[in-house]
A and B are shown apart, each in its own frame.
Chain A
């Protein structure tokens, strides 16, 4: 908190307009009651923006709940060293027509309020996780707890009741892109079934080829010389058979990808999608995306499908895959190079570069693919957890989620 903020004139504070989002209830009250309890903890005629928005929301949604008037003297406002207010509320209407009751309402910062309440670990975790989600969407959770006031003004234990999401009505930053209602997300069916099938076929092929290929490069385990002499088995034979069979299946997958690049009606399978930077704007946005990942820029440009950096990576992955297919075929065909004209042509690179160099290249590219896989999974998880667009599940069910009203670079405005 800077000095400036502390010294902000009261008028400005009063002019600040808030909106309330969803209401989280800890389970003992319904959301309307949580709202009512929060709204009740305000002195009559308060112009505090929080009080104003709560009263307005309550009037909109639950005009059946009448609030008692709270005298100024019954309010102990929040302070920097105690980030919640305590308000004595007389004769608050109880749900279900059970008359009225007196309460002390504790209202303010979630962490501070939770500290004062008796709450189980599980309930606390649920509340904190939900509040975390609210924070990511630009909301501040205003926590509400209450304690009954019994005979002789004895105050009981505080019970956490829930929280109300609050946010400035004129949000800054990425919230510009955020539609007015946080609930309005649109599902865009992005990835066709054949694209997803290809993706997962590739995953399977790459995993099998990597594991068997690694063992061919370095057969670091196998039968022991002391124990397994009698039944030697066919370990390396099987490893190679699996490697070669999978390799040919992968070639078919690759060939199918090439065909679909020219024949498919899905724009994300057509060949232009393999081209990383199509326009000047893409180059500019590439810088922006890199800046975002280097924590220089707060927000990356919004893309529906692949951003330029992603597309560069995926095109690179296609190149790596093609290299593996060519070098793999070369090494496979080398054995037959002197007895078949076809394999003779296919294995020509071993005469240019030397057999072992092609082998090393094949192995190094495998490791590069592993590095790609690590980065790919990390960035997918990262963006899905930060942007909440369902990017990971989209490769299973085909759909990503975007906020209505957002305008990706590569698609029309999401309606």
Chain B
């Protein structure tokens, strides 16, 4: 499919798309996919609560999306790697998502906007002045006055604050914008933080992931634009329609987990059989994301399907909490060299056992010593404790010392007997 975008020239989104070379059938298919993404969250069997995004027919979404007049979207890219944009734009070749994203973000986005330099800054100012949707990629460095990320000489924090003033909704896209990601991990030299640590007191939608699935990014934006309100969020601000289930619980390898069939090392027989990756560090049991359901690159595959353990990139602090990536549990700090929980635990048990062994040994020795000491409180001649003789002239028992002299040793006296 090829298309040609010349900016937002027609009144509505649908008209712009048709002008660019898409037909209504493509658009309806796209809206159907969005409806499917929204429906992910409702898929929890026996769920006590209704679906997190009410099930909406694709036609309704198409009507709403198609009727969108030029929305103002400010898409900031701060301390980040552009991977999130790549995830959205390069998810499966040139697609209608791509076109929609480009059309939506045309107002201000460093990557896809035509303008550059002073013109770009002017465009940002203009967009900031109107009500707009603010999408943020990247973290915000706070150390040293924020000098570690500046745009047009202005710190990332200042850029973010200005853009947020009139924003009708704020979406933090990607692990960097959500909590800071790799640059916010220990030791966090730039003091990087996520959007909701700068913009407090206002709801921030956290589209978590490193990067998030392209469809989840566009679906979140589409939800905002079509519903006029934020989707339901979990405790960490993530849209429930995509982050309500653990990877582990919808994983295609789950049956192997339950059977106790584990890949013990990469490229072993278990790995060839497609067994569970838990033992080589899969963080699926600790990670809430829709990867097994929506998958990546137009539903082609996802990490665990491809044979690699989940890194848990949709969870906060995953670089600190989930490393080493290829061990089941993170290491326990504070032991000089970090140790695995298991090693540290066995160490604790070993120290206890060794302590017990030593203590038991000392107890036995002390007990033996005190037994001897206790019984020797008063020297008793009858036990041979001293040489003192209570008889005036001790004579020997005839039989015993018939041959042995007075100073015989024990052995001699025995012989004599």
Contact = CB atoms under 8 A, between A and B. Distances in A.
Contacts of A77: 381, 389-391, 394
A112 B260 contact: no
Given A86-B397, A109-B384, A386 B367 contact: yes
A9 to B, nearest CB: 10
Contacts of B285: 355
B383 A354 contact: no
Contacts of A237: 258-260
B231 to A, nearest CB: 13
A235 B414 contact: no
B268 interface: yes
A359 B286 CA distance: 9
Given A6-B387, A218-B328, A355-B315, A153 B44 contact: no
A225 B122 CA distance: 62
B377 A168 contact: yes
Contacts of B366: 295
Contacts of B48: 339-341
Contacts of A337: 234-235
A50 B344 contact: no
Contacts of B389: 77
A364 B359 contact: no
Interface in A26-56: 43, 46-51
A166 B46 CA distance: 79
Contacts of A49: 380
Given A222-B261, A235-B259, A364-B345, A88 B398 contact: yes
A88 B394 CA distance: 13
A140 B236 CA distance: 74
B371 interface: yes
A401 interface: no
B383 A140 contact: yes
Contact of A43 (B288, B316, B391): B391
Contact of B332 (A1, A8, A360): A360
B392 A72 contact: yes
Contacts of A107: 382
Contacts of A382: 359-360, 363
Interface in A107-148: 107-109, 112, 115-116, 132, 135-136, 138-140, 142, 147
Interface in B235-282: 235-236, 240, 244-246, 249, 255-262, 268-270, 272-273, 275, 278-279
Interface in A341-379: 341, 344, 348, 351, 354-357, 359-360, 363-364, 366-368, 370-372, 374-375, 378
A65 to B, nearest CB: 20
Interface in B178-237: 234-236
Contacts of A16: 378
B35 to A, nearest CB: 20
Interface string A147-183: 1010001110010000000101001110100000000
Interface in A78-118: 78-88, 104, 107-109, 112, 115-116
Contact of B260 (A79, A88, A235, A356): A235
A335 interface: yes
Contact of B262 (A140, A154, A219): A219
Contacts of B397: 74-76, 86-88, 104
A86 B345 CA distance: 62
Nearest to B344: A364
Contacts of B165: none
A340 B47 CA distance: 8
A87 B389 CA distance: 15
Contacts of A142: 382-383
Interface residues of B, number: 98
Contacts of B255: 232
B363 to A, nearest CB: 6
Task: From B260, B353, B367, B371, name the one whose CB has the most chain A CB atoms within 10 angstroms.
Answer: B260
A79 B384 contact: yes
Given A80-B387, A295-B362, A166 B329 contact: no
A5 interface: yes
Contacts of A338: 44, 52, 234, 240, 244-245, 288
Nearest to A88: B397
A235 B46 CA distance: 26
Contacts of A72: 391-395
Contact of A13 (B322, B344, B381, B417): B381
Interface string A272-302: 0000000000000000000001010010000
Contact of B381 (A78, A88, A295): A78
A166 B260 contact: no
A370 B349 contact: yes
B59 interface: no
A236 B259 contact: yes
B400 A378 contact: no
Nearest to B312: A356
B277 to A, nearest CB: 12
A182 to B, nearest CB: 14
Contact of B417 (A158, A168, A335): A158
Interface in A246-292: none
Given A81-B410, A135-B371, A356 B351 contact: no
A345 B272 CA distance: 41
A367 B259 contact: no
B253 to A, nearest CB: 12
A226 interface: yes
A267 to B, nearest CB: 30
A356 B378 contact: no
Contact of B49 (A88, A225, A228, A339): A339
A341 to B, nearest CB: 8
Given A138-B374, A225-B268, A366-B345, A166 B387 contact: no
Contacts of B380: 18, 49-50, 140, 166
B346 interface: yes
Contacts of A225: 261, 268-270, 272-273, 275
A371 B246 CA distance: 33
A53 to B, nearest CB: 10
Interface in B299-321: 312, 315-317, 321
B341 interface: yes
Interface in B4-62: 44, 46-49, 52
21 contacts: A6-B379, A48-B382, A78-B384, A83-B385, A84-B384, A104-B397, A108-B382, A115-B410, A116-B410, A138-B375, A140-B375, A155-B417, A217-B329, A229-B273, A236-B260, A237-B259, A334-B246, A360-B330, A363-B345, A372-B352, A382-B363
Given A46-B390, A116-B414, A378-B356, 19 more contacts: A6-B379, A13-B381, A76-B395, A86-B400, A138-B375, A140-B375, A147-B417, A158-B417, A232-B256, A239-B260, A298-B370, A338-B240, A340-B49, A356-B329, A356-B330, A359-B329, A363-B341, A371-B348, A371-B351
